[in-house]
Amino acid sequence: METKQFQAESKRLLEMMINSIYSQKEIFLRELISNASDAIDKIYYKALTDDQISFNQEDYFVKISANKADRTLHVVDTGIGMTKEELESNLGTIAKSGSLAFKNENEMKDGQEIIGQFGVGFYSSFMVADKVVVYTKSLNDEQGYKWESTGVEGYTIEPYDKEDVGTEIIIYIKENDEDVNYDDFLDEHQLKTIVKKYSDFIRYPIKMDVTEQKPKSDDDDELVEVTEEKTVNSMVPIWRKNKQELTDEDYNAFYQEKHFGFDNPLTHLHISVDGMVRFQSILYIPEQLPYDYYSKEFEKGLELYSNGVLIMEKSADLVPDHFSFLKGIVDSEDLSLNISREILQQDKQVKLIAKNIEKKVKNHLQSMLKNAREKYEKFFEAFGRQLKFGVYSDFGANKEKLQDLLLFYSSQEKKLVSLAEYVDRMPEDQKYIYYASGESHDRIEKLPQTEMLKDKGYEILYFTEEVDEFAIKMLMNYKEKEFKSVASGDLDLDDEETKKEAEKQKEEHKELLDHMKTLLGNKVKDVRLSTRLKSHPVCLTAEGDVSIEMEKVLKAMPDNQNIEANKILEINNKHDIFQSLVKIYETDPDKAALYTNILYNQALLIEGLPIEDPVAFSNDMCKVMV
Ligand SMILES: Nc1ncnc2c1ncn2[C@@H]1O[C@H](COP(=O)(O)OP(=O)(O)OP(=O)(O)O)[C@@H](O)[C@H]1O
């Protein structure tokens, strides 16, 4: 038996590998299974090009078994095996990948699924092993060999009479220590979970002896433990199957199996792209809002596979924030992986995939809006808020992409409408897209500011979510129509004659209005006669960028900077109360001050704003009642 030494650098490299490349110890099993799959792929490829070699699907598999008594884990494959030279160069030289060489020698191109490329994965077994033994017999050699190493001092190779072509790797699992429970790697259930997690879509069967409780006999309730050999992986990924052959049930079953949610998906997309970067993807939009969706705890992302092997459980970069509700998987053969396969070397491919996904999802949603309105509304009720955040965030960078996906409740239709629908039915004389903000549809419905607009037959969009106005301010206009709040300073509703009349009235009552403004001081920016009120005596409007609703939102934020709207108190000069006010102003200035305060506080109440001094207000009310 000859003992060969690792080169000094290799030794250090091995140490580094074992201790620092992989963040999770369980990865070693993924690496060994991938190697086994590569070894079978090689026979498969040989059989394609060599008539002497036959490939019967059922002869090719990977078998995993654990022996708790001697703490060994066995990974057996019926792949191509290794000659003595191959053992030396592949398992004796770190970073030498026989698989990569095989791919290059055979000029294997697209469609071939050889996974190995770095020549390091095998050594990850030393993360969990004191010793690794490899029994192997090559398809090209009569003689089998045994390779053995403790991963520190080097390795030995000696002839070994192995009957069948293929490889058996025996991992001598370490004893438990303070940090790691190595027993996990001998536990049937844990092993099965690891296989499912990383290697579920390896194309060949991964078999295990699985123990289950079963009735002793058909007509017996007594359960007994039965151990049977079972294939534990799914093998053919659903995303590689033909869309036409898959039913909604198949997609739903995959959603459940992957634990994407407890619900059924609302909709799915099956994408297969053959462009600059090739990838397949199955994406879902959940039916129900995940309980933590609008919280800091929620993490967006898709499962990322490279050639059917799991690379990342949540690749956040694959989905933009505005579509963070997406669940699903992406599989690409074009990813540049880093050595641990835990991160990606280049983000160029991920960016391309993400761009593609964003476009496809947007189109899918748009077609849903057009062809499956009810379903879309269901989606929007759950995730519409996120789309609005998307319009608002990043300084509106995505607003054009998202504007056609927005829905708002309409004063006329009494249901959700899109901006396109609104604009398409705007009367010719209507200049703006009007909206009103408030806590609920009911409250907005009763807002005094909406009266005149409704009279004119103008539709109003109701904003009940905090983000609504912020998003619309970012959007600024839609199809060249500006957005206007019903509570904005100037609604620009009147014809020339009405404007002239208003101007006249303003002059006439200037003194009274100025006096009221003086009485209210800084609480309002101005007191004006209203052109929007019909039956109500007063309302508050706002001038400038910050509306009254926005003031409420900003004040509720943790870093409240006391940003306030420029409020205008508007008075309806056609209302009886105004006539009384005019009279009282001439005869009883104190009472006029009392009326001014009451009217101002009423306007606050209508807007849902707090009254600064409720006791004073209550006293004022009493004074007018007695
Ligand atoms: N079960 C096996 N059967 C046949 N050859 C194997 C087996 N396991 C490993 N090898 C050979 O050993 C080489 C090194 O394996 P290792 O896992 O270290 O790297 P790799 O699979 O090539 O690359 P990667 O680090 O990307 O996984 C493989 O390329 C392959 O040639």
Please indicate whether residue 89, judged by its CB atom, sits closer than 6 Å to ligand 1: no
What's the fold here for domain 372-486?
Rossmann fold (3.40.50)
The model's pLDDT over 405-437, given as tens digits with 9 standing for 90+, comes to: 999 999 999 999 999 999 999 998 899 999 999
The model's pLDDT over 279-332, given as tens digits with 9 standing for 90+, comes to: 999 999 999 999 899 998 999 999 999 888 898 999 999 999 999 999 999 999
Q: Which of ligand 1's atoms lies nearest the C-alpha of 123?
A: 18
Please indicate whether residue 117, judged by its CB atom, sits closer than 6 Å to ligand 1: yes
Give which of 140, 146, 170, 142 is closest to 159, Cα–Cα: 146
Average pLDDT, the chain: 90
Instruction: Tell me the ipTM for this assembly.
Output: 0.98
* Low-confidence winner among 19-33, 120-134, 551-565 (lowest mean pLDDT): 551-565
Pocket test for ligand 1, best of 21, 33, 35 (most atoms within 8 A of CB): 35
Full-model pTM: 0.81
What pLDDT band is residue 111 in, cutting at 50, 70 and 90? very low
The CATH number assigned to the domain with range 238-369 reads 3.30.230.80
Q: Answer whether residue 448 shows pLDDT above 90.
A: no
**Average of pLDDT values for 442-468?**
91
Q: Can you say which residues are annotated as belonging to the binding site for ATP?
A: 31, 35, 77, 82, 90, 96-98, 117-122, 167, 341
**Average of pLDDT values for 150-165?**
92
Residue 555: what pLDDT? 82
CB 329 within 8 A of CB 303: yes
How do strand 327-332 and strand 416-418 relate by DSSP bridges? unpaired
Please indicate whether residue 35, judged by its CB atom, sits closer than 6 Å to ligand 1: yes
What pLDDT band is residue 155 in, cutting at 50, 70 and 90? very high
Residue 176 alpha carbon to ligand 1 centre in Å: 27
CB 99 within 8 A of CB 112: no
Residue 7: what pLDDT? 53
CB 300 within 8 A of CB 389: no
Nearest CA owner, ligand 1 atom 12: 90
The CATH number assigned to the domain with range 11-231 reads 3.30.565.10
What pLDDT band is residue 5 in, cutting at 50, 70 and 90? low
The model's pLDDT over 371-381, given as tens digits with 9 standing for 90+, comes to: 999 999 999 99
Pocket test for ligand 1, best of 46, 80, 97, 164 (most atoms within 8 A of CB): 97
Q: Is residue 182 within a helix (H) or strand (E), and if so which, with residue range?
A: none
Please indicate whether residue 37, judged by its CB atom, sits closer than 6 Å to ligand 1: no
Please indicate whether residue 120, judged by its CB atom, sits closer than 6 Å to ligand 1: yes
Q: What DSSP string describes 242-308?
A: -GGG--HHHHHHHHHHTTS-SS-EEEEEEEEEESSSEEEEEEEEESS--TTTTSTT----EEEEETT
The full set of domain ranges for the chain reads 11-231, 238-369, 372-486, 491-626
Q: State the CATH class of domain 491-626.
A: mainly alpha
What pLDDT band is residue 521 in, cutting at 50, 70 and 90? very high
The model's pLDDT over 203-251, given as tens digits with 9 standing for 90+, comes to: 999 999 999 888 887 777 788 889 999 999 998 889 988 899 999 999 9
Could you give the CA distance from residue 335 to residue 508 in angstroms, rounded to a whole number? 76
